[in-house]
């Protein structure tokens, strides 16, 4: 009997332990279950401007502070898991792959999204490319890196199907537990020659957490305007759709550049 008990104990010790999900440190268990099931989690920015979906990364408080400082009129959040191309995305090579994918600004030309107002898929960016500076917007090639810089700023030009032709500043940051990008307009955004969004009033922020062979994507898009926004629900849905398109673009880039 003693030999049998010892044999059972040795067998149990030999069994593989249930692995802890590497994303468990960043999102709650319920959200993680939904994300692993293939669900994209969406939310509108709360009236008190607190974030409901932001992962628990080192930049979370900084991002939350920037949102409160702007006091946006409307905003949306998106959380989803992007499958990588089969390599370890949390290894140096995988993180570099993510960083360079986010630099491929020119490949955003022709990117589509679901238009709430038109009720169909439409082109989001008619033009998209990097430029030398805000003062001298000469088209330049997309940046490409052999190692990830801690900080990198990039000026870009985009012709947006909704917001027209504008110059943006994109700030890329590499942190110990994630990669981060913030994009804000430097041009005054107009509609029929009427200013509707002042510089730094249209903001997108993206947090990317490499974990195993996947990437956790957190997107936040918001704007501040003094003009009436009409149906708030539609405006939120439109921002969510833009974030969904951005996540889809990144997923395609990870495969294309690998």
Residue 6 has pLDDT above 70, yes or no: no
Q: Which residues pair with 164 in a beta bridge?
A: 160
Where along the chain do its domains lie? 36-256
**Taking residues 41-57, what's their average pLDDT?**
95
Position 2 scores a pLDDT of 54
Query: Cα separation of 58 and 37, whole Å?
Result: 26
| 203 has a pLDDT exceeding 90 | yes
- Predicted pLDDT at 3: 52
The Cα 177–Cα 223 span in angstroms is 27
Q: Give the three-class secondary structure for 180.
A: strand
247-252 own/partner pairs: CB under 8 Å, 24+ apart = 247/40, 247/78, 247/80, 247/82, 247/217, 247/219, 249/107, 249/108, 249/111, 250/82, 250/101, 250/102, 250/208, 250/215, 250/217, 251/82, 251/83
The DSSP bridge pattern shows strands 120-123 and 112-115 to be antiparallel
pLDDT tens-digit profile of 161-195? 989 999 999 999 999 999 999 999 999 999 888 99
Q: Six-digit token pair at 68?
A: 């409160």
Q: Among all chains, which residue has been given the structure tokens 């089969």?
A: 86
Q: What is the DSSP string of 4-55?
A: HHHHHHHHHHHSPPPPPPTTTTTS-HHHHHHHHTTPPEEEEPPTT---SS--
Give the pLDDT band of residue 258 (cuts 50, 70, 90).
Answer: low
Q: Residue 19: which pLDDT band, with cuts at 50, 70 and 90?
A: confident
CB atoms within 10 A of CB 44: 18
pLDDT digits (tens, 9 = 90+) for 115-136: 998 999 999 999 999 999 999 9
CATH topology of domain 36-256: Alpha-D-Glucose-1,6-Bisphosphate; Chain A, domain 4 (3.30.530)
- Counting residues of the chain whose pLDDT is more than 70, the rounded percentage is 92
């Amino acid at each position: 009997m003693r030999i049998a008990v010892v044999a059972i104990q040795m067998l149990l010790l030999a069994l593989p332990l249930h692995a802890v999900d590497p994303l468990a440190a960043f999102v709650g268990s319920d959200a993680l279950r939904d994300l692993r099931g293939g669900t994209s989690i969406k939310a509108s920015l709360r009236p008190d401007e607190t974030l409901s979906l932001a992962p628990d990364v080192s930049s979370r408080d900084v991002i939350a502070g920037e949102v409160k400082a702007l006091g946006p009129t409307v905003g949306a959040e998106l959380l989803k898991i992007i499958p990588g191309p089969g390599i370890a995305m949390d290894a140096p090579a995988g993180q570099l792959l993510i960083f360079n994918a986010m630099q491929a600004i020119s490949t955003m030309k022709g990117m589509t999204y679901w238009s709430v107002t038109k009720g169909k898929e439409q082109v989001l960016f008619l033009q998209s490319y990097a430029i030398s500076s805000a003062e001298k917007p000469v088209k330049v090639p997309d940046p490409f890196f052999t190692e990830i810089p801690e900080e990198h700023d990039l000026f870009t030009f985009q012709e947006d199907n909704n917001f027209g032709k504008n110059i943006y500043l994109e700030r890329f940051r590499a942190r110990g537990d994630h990669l981060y990008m913030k994009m804000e307009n430097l041009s005054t955004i107009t509609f029929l020659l009427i200013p509707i969004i002042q510089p730094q009033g249209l903001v997108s922020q993206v947090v990317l957490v490499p974990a195993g062979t996947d990437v956790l994507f957190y997107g936040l898009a918001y704007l501040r305007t003094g003009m009436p926004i009409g149906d708030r629900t539609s405006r939120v849905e439109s921002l969510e759709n833009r974030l969904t398109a951005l996540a889809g673009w990144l997923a395609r880039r990870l495969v294309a550049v690998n």
